Amino acid sequence: MTTHENVVEVRELRKTYGTYTAVDGITFDIHRGETFALLGPNGAGKSTTIEILEGYRDRSSGDVRVLGVDPEKAMLDWKARLGIVLQSSGESGNVTVAEQLRHFAALYPNPRDVDEVIAAIGLEGKEGALIRTLSGGQRRRVDVAVGIVGRPELLFLDEPTTGFDPEARRNFWQLIRSLQSEGTTILLTTHYLDEAAQLGDRAGVIAQGRMVDLAPIDELGGPDARVPVVRWRENDAAREQRTEAPAALVAELVARLGGEPEGLEVIRPSLEDVYLDLVGREHASELGAEALNEMEAAR
C-alpha cells in the first residue's frame, strides 16, 4: 500500500463478533486535506470502522494504514497526530473552558495556542466559564477544541451536531470550514445528509457492513440516480417515467390527454432519495438484539 497521497488506506477490512459480521470487506482511501463523510444507517458498521481506524478496536482481517501506520501497532507519537471528537465527551463540567484546553494541550508535543483555539471556536469571553454552565452548542465547540488543540493531521468527527438547533449547526459548519481551509484531513460521520453535502468532498455509504457506494457527494448513486421522475395517473392507474427532459414529457402528456394529467408530479431526487435507494429502506434501523448481544460478549 502506498501512503504518499493518502492519509487513510483501508483494504478488505472485516470485523466479526461471533457469527455476526459488523464490517464485511470494505475498501476505501481518504486523501490528504479532504473531508470524507462515512454514511450509513444505525448498525451498518460505521462506528466499528472508525474505532478500528482510531486504534481502539482490533480488526478480524484486512489491511489498514492511518498516517502510514497500522493502528494496531501504533505508539503514542502516532496518537498525538490524531484529533478525536466523540458523540459525547463524558468530561466533567466542573472545570473552565481554558482549564480543559490547557490540560489537553499539555498532552501534545506541538499544541495550538489555547487562546487562539478559544477564538477559533467562537468562545471568546467564556474562557473562565465552567463547562457545565455552557449551552449544548457551546459545549460541543469545546469538544471540537479538545480535538484540534493538539494540531492533528487527521480529525475524526463522530455525529458532531446531534441535538443542535439550526443556527448552532450552521455556526459549527463555519468552524469546520476554517479547519478545512487550514488543510486538516477530516473523517466525518453524520446522519444529517445536508451536513455531509455542505462539508464533505467525498462519501462512502455503508449498509450491512459493506461499502455500497464511494464517490464525490454530488455523484453518489451514479449518473442515473438524480434523473427526474415524472408521475401521473392515467386510466385510473399510477404511471411514472424517468427522463432527462421532464418538461418535454409533460408537454407530450398534456397534448395526448387533452389537458394536465391527474396527479402530475415532477420529482428531482434529492441526496436523501439517493441515499435511501443505496442503503435500502428496510435496512435503515437499529441492530437486532441478538447481534448486539454477540458484539457485547466479544468485547
Residue 286: HSE in the Cβ half-sphere, 13 Å Cα cutoff = 4
Partners of 186 in beta bridges: 35, 155
Indicate the fold that domain 6-81+153-221+274-298 takes in CATH. Answer: Rossmann fold (3.40.50)
Write the pLDDT tens digit of every residue in 41-79: 988 999 999 999 999 999 999 999 999 999 999 998 899
Asked if pLDDT for residue 299 goes beyond 50, the answer is: no
* Contacting residues for 266 by C-beta, under 8 A, at least 6 apart: 228, 229, 230, 231, 246, 250
Mean pLDDT of 255-272: 92
The answer to whether 185 and 196 are in contact (CB under 8 A) is no
DSSP E strand stretches across the chain: 6-17, 20-31, 35-39, 61-66, 82-85, 154-158, 185-189, 202-207, 210-216, 229-234, 237-242, 262-267
Mean pLDDT of 289-295: 43
The answer to whether 204 and 214 are in contact (CB under 8 A) is yes
Write the pLDDT tens digit of every residue in 77-101: 899 999 998 876 665 678 999 999 9
CA distance 120 to 271: 31
Closest residue by Cα to residue 163 from 126, 190, 186: 190
CA distance 279 to 4: 32
Closest residue by Cα to residue 273 from 233, 212, 223, 220: 220
pLDDT of residue 54: 95
Residue 177 phi, psi dihedral angles, 5° rounding: -65, -35
Neighbours of 10 (CB within 10 A): 24
Neighbours of 39 (CB within 10 A): 27
Q: Sorting pLDDT into bands at 50, 70 and 90, what band is 215?
A: very high
Please give the order of strands across the beta sheet that includes 20-31: 20-31, 6-17, 61-66
Mean pLDDT of 193-208: 94
- Cell numbers at residue 221, please? 448513486
Instruction: Give one DSSP letter per residue of 88-134, joined into a string.
Output: -----SSSBHHHHHHHHHTTSSSPPPHHHHHHHTT-TT-TTSBGGGS
DSSP structural state of residue 287: P
Mean pLDDT of 111-136: 89
The single residue listed with the C-alpha cell 468552524 is: 175
